[in-house]
Structure 1
């Protein structure tokens, strides 16, 4: 999917990635894929790896449900995107710090028909040299199918260590006992699949869930915090190390949100609160200069946020090769 970005780069304090770092993260190994599917960076003393779980096609109408179709059509044209459907990027992240390997979200999984280009995460994690058995913690930003579905793949269920800790907010778990879709605008089959997937996830991993209330430190410098909005228990993950910062924002923002933070996404369970959360995170990131990664920004989704009048501007980092 084309990147809706400016060519202006903010000054970055990020340390250059050495060849040793690439080797440590398994990046030197040759990949058979034509397009790279993982991107490594060093954040202070942490190794961070963004992995593409692939893409899935969605109708563009879900991108902005509270605006006139003509306004959305103009934005799509301005960004060289098709009018009917677009490829929704799926990004997950791995953090290695101390003796912990932390997976943030788990992608869609390969068990859903109709999405042949999604569910790539497990094999791409292996290709990056990270064994599934080495994962000590999983942070779930929210329990939508494209964030927990990967954990329901047989390979994942068999190979994740029995003592893996899966962190999710209490509000999120309680919401999915009787989810409310009244404010969403999703394709008709989606709510039912979301509901059954969330239930399957809970039933499979209920004994390994580490429930938190508002905020929890999973590892030194790795904090998950409740934001709400997209789902009532939606959370983001903040990384801090040696004065450097990165926020994994889950589904708090989408590509159109920089230009139009008030445009609502059809998958948001509380669109008004989602808008407040989105603007608040944009403002926070613009002020602290930290890096941003989000689940559905174009891969590798590593950049910064700048204020642009009443809107915001996505400023991608320059890739280090």
Structure 2
């Protein structure tokens, strides 16, 4: 049963967002919360680089989306298991100036009543700027515990020493910022990194596992407790992927493998009936996946107040 979980208290003294920016739920004995880092505008061409432009245009029109640009949702998660508080990804931070609707994670974490000082572990699904940039915001590192454990896949760390963008289709300024952000993240936090190869149980019922595809070390996080489960899928899927899982996203470093990973996760979620949250599905992105012929269907949960 989904419920607003009482251990996560909002500070009534904080400014109130005009729209909801956090959604709490419980997975068995694990408390979880999805937090919106805001939205980032991107050109629609990045959404399906191998699709016929007319097909993409038709899909956008069908979804009542504008033809040239779209708002890219940014979601992070927090989970509490036993005595650990785990942050899953950290949002954009200030890596791109001029986008005031993105990079909201630090203040929204605070308004949810979750001090940075309480975070014992951070799981990074991959080292793109919109997943590690929030850790580079001034004042964040200083407030994190000295013994905070930052979990990231070993292949991911190795990849960003000399990243390959040859198969991506990104706006021209993006690769340089991705590279510099990953370098800054590693430089700032290398002494706190806990690298893993295939899977790692970070806390009771909180397991990170390597998928590859989107980046070579891309990983997803499973919350499993009391017969319930939720998968935070990072960048393994995007809104268009349910109707067209074979379409490639411009930010994927290995597009073909990304499609295989996406389809595999969709089938897994349809079979186990677990909840799905992803970094770039519309907030709060909590829902389930159903198989519908040759495509998949996104079934959002009904919000529980």
8 Å contact 1:110–1:120 — kept in the other structure? Answer: no
**Runs (4+) off by over 2 Å:** 27-31
Q: Distance in 1 between matches of 2:190 and 2:296?
A: 39
Q: Find out whether 1:49 has 2:33 as its counterpart.
A: yes
Q: In the TM superposition, what is the alpha-carbon distance from 1:16 to its structure 2 partner?
A: 4.4
Q: Distance in 2 between matches of 1:266 and 1:314?
A: 22
Q: Find out whether 1:200 has 2:188 as its counterpart.
A: no
8 Å contact 2:95–2:177 — kept in the other structure? Answer: no
Q: In the TM superposition, what is the alpha-carbon distance from 1:112 to its structure 2 partner?
A: 2.3
CA RMSD of the aligned region, Å? 1.0
Q: In the TM superposition, what is the alpha-carbon distance from 1:33 to its structure 2 partner?
A: 1.0
SS of structure 2 residue aligned to 1:312: strand
Q: Distance in 1 between matches of 2:3 and 2:11?
A: 12
Q: Find out whether 1:239 has 2:223 as its counterpart.
A: yes
Give the structure 1 partner of residue 297 of structure 2.
Answer: 313
Q: In the TM superposition, what is the alpha-carbon distance from 1:115 to its structure 2 partner?
A: 1.4
In the alignment, structure 2 segments of 5+ residues that lack a partner are none
SS of structure 1 residue aligned to 2:100: coil
Give the structure 2 partner of residue 25 of structure 1.
Answer: 8
Q: Which of 133, 138, 144 is residue 149 of structure 1 equivalent to? A: 133
Give the structure 2 partner of residue 82 of structure 1.
Answer: 66
8 Å contact 1:40–1:47 — kept in the other structure? Answer: yes
Q: In the TM superposition, what is the alpha-carbon distance from 1:68 to its structure 2 partner?
A: 1.0
Normalised to the residue count of structure 2, the TM-score between the two structures is: 0.98
Q: In the TM superposition, what is the alpha-carbon distance from 1:27 to its structure 2 partner?
A: 4.1
Q: Distance in 2 between matches of 1:27 and 1:126?
A: 8
For structure 1, which segment, 272-281 or 150-159, has the greater mean C-alpha deviation from structure 2 after superposition? 150-159
Task: Please list the CA deviations of residues 5-44 of structure 1 after superposition, one character each: whole Å capped at 9, or x if unmatched.
Answer: xxxxxxxxxx2426xx23x201484751110100000111
Q: Which of 61, 65, 76 is residue 49 of structure 2 equivalent to? A: 65
In the alignment, structure 1 segments of 5+ residues that lack a partner are 1-14
Q: Distance in 2 between matches of 1:52 and 1:172?
A: 24
Q: Find out whether 1:162 has 2:146 as its counterpart.
A: yes
Q: 1:134 to 1:61 in 2, by over 3 A?
A: same
Give the structure 2 partner of residue 115 of structure 1.
Answer: 99
Q: Distance in 1 between matches of 2:11 and 2:193?
A: 34
